[in-house]
Structure 1
């Protein structure tokens, strides 16, 4: 039987060759360490560097990534043990020399691969020394650049010359923290006779279509398992038996003497289908592969799999060519986000942390995450959680925003890396698409690469030849797409909105967010808008004096080119100018939320021509001003709440149509959506007294509607309800069951910078409840984007809603989950004070104690969710 022992403790780390800038005496360091880790985490744990996420500390640690480092430990060997002995490295970052008892046994050049080293003939009885020396990765990359020639790249760091996470060298949302170390487990493995070397399950599912057009529940499945076996010395003549088992069925095949490969097949009927979480359940089944000899079990591989049919449909039509995902025969609208590494030091990302982050994705009604090509192939736990949570995964191969050499050692490294990861991940039902690169094909077309390259290769061979060949050979049941963006034809512009998938970045970089409406794409796999992290995340990283747009430490946490000016441009188009940093923080968060909600609703209203929206980005890796919905400390920003609303299964949105307005009803569910909608055109001019009186109704009406399953319906808004003759302060109120989380939505005709002539006013009260605090806010005026920043009082607090808009007389109750609810908690009224409670146009003196309702009849409907 195989025996594997993980080498986690007993390691030491020392700088084998400290770079200039290293602290005095660093050469003598010998620091205790555990594995997995990287040098930065070891130095942090031993107090040798300051937290690079805080202030300007990032600039103080660049010597770490320019030094050589040695990890060392020992392991023992029993001389009576004659089994083959292997060292297994699940991930070495990146250029490493492995020695056993002073003898070199391996050199590695790729963070994204695993390595197995046979050390049977290198070990001795008793203690054995194992050292891993991590060389200066920049020196290696510069050597490749000198040999292969300079390739285009917007980042001065040489990330494309080494198979290492590109964003590790810094990005427009991430710090430059060049890591080194055994970032994934190291183990010692012993076996006799034989072991499983690779197990490759290819799963084909056919969904049984329902006669009424409903979602299929069951299907037929075929599991083909290709296995490669490693035989120990002297075992070539042994006959081996391979058995696969799944769903109560099994199959066995013999491996005759000398044979190292075999295929076994199991067919299953009437299996439960796996679905994304917003469409159905996620049944998982254990697939077990066992290797035996003479009835004795030698090795086993066991993973959970699921049965689902998936098809990517890039089909020509009258508008160009589609880019549609079909699950179990059902075309879906992709409601996704892009995923980056959740920490600059991935070795400290736990399964619990991943579960929290991925649950935040599903709670925001997302059904897909795209693992971006400038990061890493994620851990097994990531994909297992996506399987169980019902999150589809679009997986990039790891190329991003640069030309990549096609010659020399990199080509072979890319091939082995792709083979390793395709085989490792192909059993996951959540994984639906392999994608060749991020923005590399687009870069060749539009970023002035052609003149710089002068005919040299830039990576196209990877995307059009090598990678599709690897997928076709090893994972033929899963589709491959050459790039993001890509139009499906190498002779067609890769970001053509009529074909394939596009990235939309001119809006953030150049235009106002309402220009999303100028795009009519088939599928959007990147678009985003910036905003700062939550207050407690920002103040953990910066001192009070550094909370200033011009402070160097603040600018250290804004990596986007001209990011501050772009944020200012976005504010000036829509919102009043902030009077101080606190108001800037609030308004830029709100503007980010509005921008992405506007974009998502526009794209969803374009269904079925537009079949997907993947926001840039879900998460952050550190405290930074960025495009993320969840900040670097794991706190949802107002953007997250806006995405949750915009990705609801049933969406009502007001959209321009032919110079007029229409209410577009989008139904992603499997059942028809029927109901009645009421519309009211309300006048907010001249400004009503700040006493909660209802706004006058200028026009009203209602209509019945029916939206078919996975369909859309457009209803023109009557002309008399389109602000005819009224100033821009008018509001269109739309009410109906399931219209939004609150049962009604508001459409504002004017921009807040023009509409707000007097401050907003509310009353607020808070009470303790069993799991926290309830804060009820009642509007005395029109109030837009009411936000409760609970983390200002308790960094661990969470809040039920954000970005709530109210009409005069309406109320909303925020539920705050907090441990600060006992005797030592902040005073109850603190949860109602500015700036904990903020809204557009709401000043510190605009929050009063609860007052009687002055409108006619009963108070207006309480609004229980974001609108």
Structure 2
């Protein structure tokens, strides 16, 4: 990042520049600066140098004297440096060492098998506590970072300071009892007090407690009568309280130190109980089971310090906008920045938090490694445990999926060494430091029977890659009977403007060297096109081809997520891979590296909607089954309508039913027999539609066909478009109708990024659709008229015919 800012490094996204920059990982680096110390600062009894993030092998020198050696990117390092400082100008130096020689030497001691190894220099990466995906992954570049990635500060301690604050909450009859335990580091003096306060919206409803501190820690009980609780997105509001703990001098009433965090009052559980299908895997919030829906999260930039709160707010906001209530922070990245969790708290997006171990074996037999990992875990559990968004701590990603065996070999580590970290150390630390947060050793994990048999449909969670890696048809996902789907996915390309950001015109062929270079999943582009051509006609031109890969991806994930909702309560969660990118490339993301929503993210907003109608076709029985799903916590009185049409919109019959949808449930409302229509018109001439109404409002709409869309003889839909100013400044309303059914209607504003309220939807030819849009740059109404592009599935191939 510093080399880029200084103009000494080329853009890592551009073409194959990644290859030119691997020398950075093989180079040592020196950061240095001068700083001034005033004389009164030396009145402190101790002066701590606090390094919150050093990446990764580093010696720290103060005025030429070595005070610390760091070897873990994820730890906070502290050392008393008062004896090394003087009044006036001082010098701090941080010497970073290339990780390559270290990894090479340690790998000679014992080779650590791993997946996702893209360069032989980096095969010993698991010897280091460093962001795994910086060494490359199957959706990202190799950029082995180095440097200061979180703040460095000097902390002066006069008499004492607060070193740790933890709290537990107990919910009973609408009240919440909070026990706040604070620990201090005392330098000198007596008569110290701890004061705990909790309040919200300024100073309303403050509850306070004050105790004398005879030792180094104390517990302060607080009771809130009928407080407002914190709920995940879609289930209620995200009420946040401010918890403050002050260390006070009892003689002078001077505040010596303050700890302050925003917290949420909620009871969250991982509920595992015996049921008719085996053992449940479901989350409960404030006593209520709910369906978890969302996606997996990877670091949003390979250069983490570039990310701002606005970046996190935009991405987490997009998750919430798509009706997600959970994100899995995947174990191949980092323990995210504080802003990430703060945004999740505010928006009601729960976090399944992996510890940073993924797709590799680890030297848990090495005591120094384990000591460093223990300190890392303690630091991060303490940092994250107060956030209401933290739903679960998970030990690792996919180690139990083939990287563990009875003994060490060329592919696996031993179960005994695996257990030392994931079955013993981690649960012990969580029980001590965060006893109210559930722990899960691995994703996926089979808790009953043989844990080597991953993806057991009777218990635990699953990573199902039957489609992408297994080559199964999209429809196969309807066979899933798992209890919780924590990972699955399908790839697509980003849109043309994103492609243009890293290519020259000569590269813009999907089989070019550069396009292949920006595809890191072996055979990925072949898989994309194999499925695209299975579902859709050959598209015309690069732009339409890119969009159609996104529609293919969206259909793949829609099949899985709608099935998961119909399988509730047997299956109680689905998190697709993945929501975001850190590199412009072909990937599984639903939002590209520039924050542009792909078709998948728009469809996710619909298939994760609180109230949803879905349809299951049966070509053998020639029927369409209509389902209604309710993910709210209240019963809903709804109206469901369904009908079949020909591709020209001619009505072939239908029905409707008033539906009493129970909370957190799915119900089949009808099976519509299409045999007569198929006999008369053929299955290639039929589209089946379903709408769900809450009062006069359409809350969900869907369609289904008996054949793949490529075999439908769709007509030019003749879409009519009008645009008007919206209710808010900078917002517009688009009105759309069509003479004939239109599938996957796509809205764009030429050359302008924009957020649409809906996109890639269907028009049945009889009903107007309204869409709001907010361009990301100011536009006049007449400009929007000129720049607005409206396309449908027919347009993707019309030029070829």
Q: Is the 8 A contact 2:164 2:183 kept in 1?
A: yes
Q: Is the 8 A contact 1:401 1:443 kept in 2?
A: no
Residue in structure 1 matching 2:794, options 838, 841, 854: 841
Alignment partner of 1:629 is 2:585: no
Could you tell me how far 1:481 is from its partner in structure 2?
Answer: 0.9
Residues 312 and 817 (structure 1), Cα distance of their counterparts in 2 relative to 1, 3 Å cut: same
Residues 768 and 824 (structure 1), Cα distance of their counterparts in 2 relative to 1, 3 Å cut: closer
What is the DSSP-based 3-state SS (H/G/I as helix, E as strand, rest coil) of the residue aligned with 1:828?
A: helix
The number of equivalent residue pairs is: 775
Q: Is the 8 A contact 1:670 1:710 kept in 2?
A: yes
Could you tell me how far 1:207 is from its partner in structure 2?
Answer: 5.4
Unaligned runs of 5+ in 1: 1-40, 209-218, 689-694, 847-867
Aligned equivalent of 2:626:
663
Q: Is the 8 A contact 1:677 1:736 kept in 2?
A: yes
Could you tell me how far 1:348 is from its partner in structure 2?
Answer: 0.9
What is the DSSP-based 3-state SS (H/G/I as helix, E as strand, rest coil) of the residue aligned with 2:600?
A: helix
Alignment partner of 1:762 is 2:714: no
1:51-70 aligned within 5 A = 51-70=11-30
Moved more, 804-813 or 576-585: 804-813
Aligned equivalent of 2:765:
808
Q: Is the 8 A contact 1:373 1:398 kept in 2?
A: yes
CA RMSD of aligned residues (A): 2.6
Residues 230 and 130 (structure 1), Cα distance of their counterparts in 2 relative to 1, 3 Å cut: same
Q: TM-score, normalising length from structure 1?
A: 0.85
Could you tell me how far 1:559 is from its partner in structure 2?
Answer: 1.4
Moved more, 812-821 or 93-102: 812-821
What is the DSSP-based 3-state SS (H/G/I as helix, E as strand, rest coil) of the residue aligned with 1:61?
A: helix
Tell me the distance in 2 between the aligned counterparts of 1:57 and 1:189: 41
Could you tell me how far 1:490 is from its partner in structure 2?
Answer: 6.7
Over residues 208-241 of structure 1, what are the superposed CA-to-partner deviations in whole Å (9 max), with x where a residue is unaligned?
4xxxxxxxxxx22232233332233xx1x53422
Residue in structure 2 matching 1:226, options 181, 184, 193: 181
Q: Is the 8 A contact 2:445 2:460 kept in 1?
A: yes
What is the DSSP-based 3-state SS (H/G/I as helix, E as strand, rest coil) of the residue aligned with 1:272?
A: coil
1:409-558 aligned within 5 A = 409-444=368-403, 452-453=411-412, 455=414, 459-489=418-448, 491-492=450-451, 493-509=453-469, 510-558=471-519
Residue in structure 2 matching 1:707, options 648, 661, 666: 661
Q: Is the 8 A contact 2:457 2:482 kept in 1?
A: yes
Aligned equivalent of 1:606:
567
Alignment partner of 1:390 is 2:348: yes
Residues 822 and 487 (structure 1), Cα distance of their counterparts in 2 relative to 1, 3 Å cut: closer
Tell me the distance in 2 between the aligned counterparts of 1:268 and 1:301: 20
Tell me the distance in 2 between the aligned counterparts of 1:364 and 1:525: 17
Alignment partner of 1:828 is 2:785: yes
Q: Is the 8 A contact 1:221 1:267 kept in 2?
A: yes
Residues 828 and 446 (structure 1), Cα distance of their counterparts in 2 relative to 1, 3 Å cut: farther
What is the DSSP-based 3-state SS (H/G/I as helix, E as strand, rest coil) of the residue aligned with 2:510?
A: coil
Residues 283 and 698 (structure 1), Cα distance of their counterparts in 2 relative to 1, 3 Å cut: closer
Q: Is the 8 A contact 1:762 1:777 kept in 2?
A: no
1:31-42 aligned within 5 A = 41-42=1-2
Residue in structure 1 matching 2:146, options 152, 175, 180: 180
Tell me the distance in 2 between the aligned counterparts of 1:819 and 1:399: 38
Moved more, 242-251 or 597-606: 242-251
Q: Is the 8 A contact 1:760 1:843 kept in 2?
A: no
Tell me the distance in 2 between the aligned counterparts of 1:454 and 1:243: 49
Alignment partner of 1:343 is 2:301: yes
Aligned equivalent of 1:733:
689
Residue in structure 1 matching 2:133, options 167, 172, 191: 167
Tell me the distance in 2 between the aligned counterparts of 1:822 and 1:312: 48
Over residues 109-133 of structure 1, what are the superposed CA-to-partner deviations in whole Å (9 max), with x where a residue is unaligned?
1111111121010112211110101
Alignment partner of 1:276 is 2:232: yes
Could you tell me how far 1:106 is from its partner in structure 2?
Answer: 0.3
What is the DSSP-based 3-state SS (H/G/I as helix, E as strand, rest coil) of the residue aligned with 2:142?
A: coil
Residues 719 and 764 (structure 1), Cα distance of their counterparts in 2 relative to 1, 3 Å cut: closer
Tell me the distance in 2 between the aligned counterparts of 1:303 and 1:722: 64
Residues 651 and 822 (structure 1), Cα distance of their counterparts in 2 relative to 1, 3 Å cut: closer
What is the DSSP-based 3-state SS (H/G/I as helix, E as strand, rest coil) of the residue aligned with 1:153?
A: coil
Alignment partner of 1:114 is 2:73: no
Tell me the distance in 2 between the aligned counterparts of 1:715 and 1:452: 50
Tell me the distance in 2 between the aligned counterparts of 1:843 and 1:389: 37
